[in-house]
């Protein structure tokens, strides 16, 4: 039975549709529905074509290869590596393929592993410990840009590009954040041989610019720690195991490649200068063949570890500090001196 339909005839009066009018009305509605479905199908088809074209373009572009090994993968974290790989691939709009090798692999085996990943990569990233393998690959494929992450550039390395963390910028930002964490309390810096005078000056300047007037305390990682650790914040550059055994309660800032979620709850900020962290910045400076690049580390603020309202306020302040001072992928020429790298 067809439902009763009415149409307006004016002056607030309505009249019922005849059976013929009802059929015509239903026919019109069906045609409108068919047109709407056709439009939806057309829009979906266009979206599918655009997605397909984008996917084909993404896959067809030459990939970037990153040489890694098991020890690095375990330290960095497998899940974190996958997440970072996706993020960097989208940022560069090209595939980033990790090439995992045995730590004792010879130069020719490293080259074979890279070749199996791609015969036409855009560039290959090597950690410094595989410098000889990188040099072997560079001699065999002189047209492929090769980046070395970490370490000083030795003589006779051709057009390989050496990439390091911008310690000055990292230390300045760490000083800003340490001062914000510490408030009116003292700051302790545990460092190793990689921390030089200009790094220390940048860190102290950051603290001063944040309004912290008291000079931070510097202790070498190789020395015994004092029994009294009454500090508002501790910054660790280098080996942290001895200090972390003390189960510290104050906020910690680490310079490390380690997966932040493998660290104690006291760790609130991690500066990551791993090959994954510097990869995008290096690729965006392909024209710097044969140069030395300084790129900022990736500051990882572990805001979920905020304990209480006061610390949540500190985290919001530190997030603003990082946002205002972190210059992602900003290239600086490397400076060579007797102390720094």
**Residue 49: exposed, middle, or buried by beta-carbon count in 10 A (0-12, 13-18, 19+)?**
exposed
Q: How many whole angstroms separate alpha carbon 108 and alpha carbon 180?
A: 50
* CATH number for the domain harbouring residue 67: 3.40.50.2300
Residue numbers of the domain that contains 310: 169-272+298-333
CA distance 136 to 43: 52
- Let me know if residue 280 belongs to a domain: no
216 and 140 fall within a common domain? no
Weakly modelled stretches of the chain, pLDDT under 70: 1-35, 155-158, 222, 224-228, 240-242, 310, 327-341
Q: What pLDDT does residue 125 have?
A: 96
Q: How far is it, in rounded angstroms, from Cα 332 to Cα 293?
A: 6
Within-domain flag for 327: yes
- pLDDT given at position 339: 37
Tell me if residue 155 falls in helix, strand or coil.
Answer: coil
> Bridge-partner residues for 96, per DSSP?
64
210 with 307, same domain: the answer is yes
Q: Are residues 318 and 181 in the same domain?
A: yes
Tell me how far apart the alpha carbons of residues 123 and 64 are, in angstroms, rounded to a whole number.
5
Q: Reduce the DSSP state of residue 114 to 3 states and report it.
A: helix
Distance from C-alpha of 41 to C-alpha of 72, rounded to nearest angstrom: 48
- Please say whether the beta carbons of 238 and 191 come within 8 A: yes
Task: Give the model confidence (pLDDT) of 44-64 as tens digits.
Answer: 778 888 777 877 877 889 999
Q: Is 160 among the domain residues? A: yes
Total number of domains constituting the chain: 3
Q: Are residues 312 and 183 in the same domain?
A: yes
Task: Provide the pLDDT for residue 93.
Answer: 93
Q: Where are the alpha helices (DSSP H) in the chain?
A: 19-60, 70-76, 78-92, 107-117, 131-140, 167-182, 197-209, 241-244, 275-283, 309-325
216/161 same-domain check: no
Most distant CA atoms of the chain, gap in Å: 99
Share of the chain above pLDDT 90, in %: 48
Residue 3 domain flag: no
CA pair distance 298, 277, nearest whole angstrom: 6
Q: Contact at 8 Å (CB) between 239 and 192? A: yes
pLDDT digits (tens, 9 = 90+) for 160-203: 899 999 999 999 999 999 999 998 899 999 887 778 888 889 99
- Return the axis-axis angle of helices 167-182 and 309-325, rounded to nearest 10°: 160
Task: Give the pLDDT score at 140.
Answer: 94
Return the structure tokens found at 225. 């720690």
Using the 3D structure, point to which of 112, 146, 165 is the last residue of a domain: 165
Burial of 283 (0-12, 13-18, 19+ CB in 10 A): buried
The long-range contacts involving 77-81, CB below 8 angstroms and separated by at least 24 positions, are 77/259, 77/261, 77/262, 80/259, 80/261, 81/276
Helices 131-140, 107-117: crossing angle, 10 deg rounding: 60
């Amino acid at each position: 039975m067809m439902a009763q339909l009415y149409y307006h005839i004016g002056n607030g009066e309505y009249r019922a549709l005849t059976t013929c009018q009802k059929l015509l009305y239903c026919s019109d509605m069906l045609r409108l529905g068919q047109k709407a479905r056709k439009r939806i199908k057309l829009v979906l088809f266009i979206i599918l074509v655009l997605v397909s074209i984008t996917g084909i373009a993404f896959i067809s572009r030459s990939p970037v290869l990153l040489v890694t090994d098991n020890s690095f993968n375990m330290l960095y974290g497998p899940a974190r590596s996958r997440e970072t790989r996706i993020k960097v691939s989208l940022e560069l709009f090209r595939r980033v393929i990790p090439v995992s090798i045995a730590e004792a692999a010879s130069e020719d085996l490293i080259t074979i592993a890279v070749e199996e990943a791609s015969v036409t990569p855009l560039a290959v990233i090597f950690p410094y410990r595989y410098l000889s393998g990188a040099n072997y690959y560079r001699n065999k494929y002189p047209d492929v840009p090769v980046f070395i992450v970490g370490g000083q550039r030795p003589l006779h390395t051709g057009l390989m590009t050496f990439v390091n963390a911008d310690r000055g910028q990292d230390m300045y930002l760490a000083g800003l954040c340490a001062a914000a964490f510490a408030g009116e309390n003292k700051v302790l810096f545990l460092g190793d041989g990689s921390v030089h005078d200009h790094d220390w000056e940048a860190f102290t300047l950051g603290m001063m610019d944040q309004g912290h007037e008291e000079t931070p305390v510097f202790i070498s990682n190789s020395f015994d720690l004092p029994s009294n650790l009454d500090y508002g914040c501790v910054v660790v550059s280098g080996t942290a195991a001895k200090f972390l055994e003390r189960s510290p309660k104050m906020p910690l800032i680490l310079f490390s490649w380690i997966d932040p979620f493998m660290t104690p709850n006291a760790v609130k900020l991690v500066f990551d200068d791993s090959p994954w962290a510097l990869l995008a910045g290096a690729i965006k400076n392909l024209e710097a063949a044969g140069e030395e690049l300084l790129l900022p580390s990736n500051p990882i603020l572990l805001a979920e570890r905020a304990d209480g309202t006061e610390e949540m306020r500190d985290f919001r302040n530190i997030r603003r500090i990082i946002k205002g001072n972190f210059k992602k992928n900003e290239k600086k020429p490397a400076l060579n001196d007797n102390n720094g790298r």
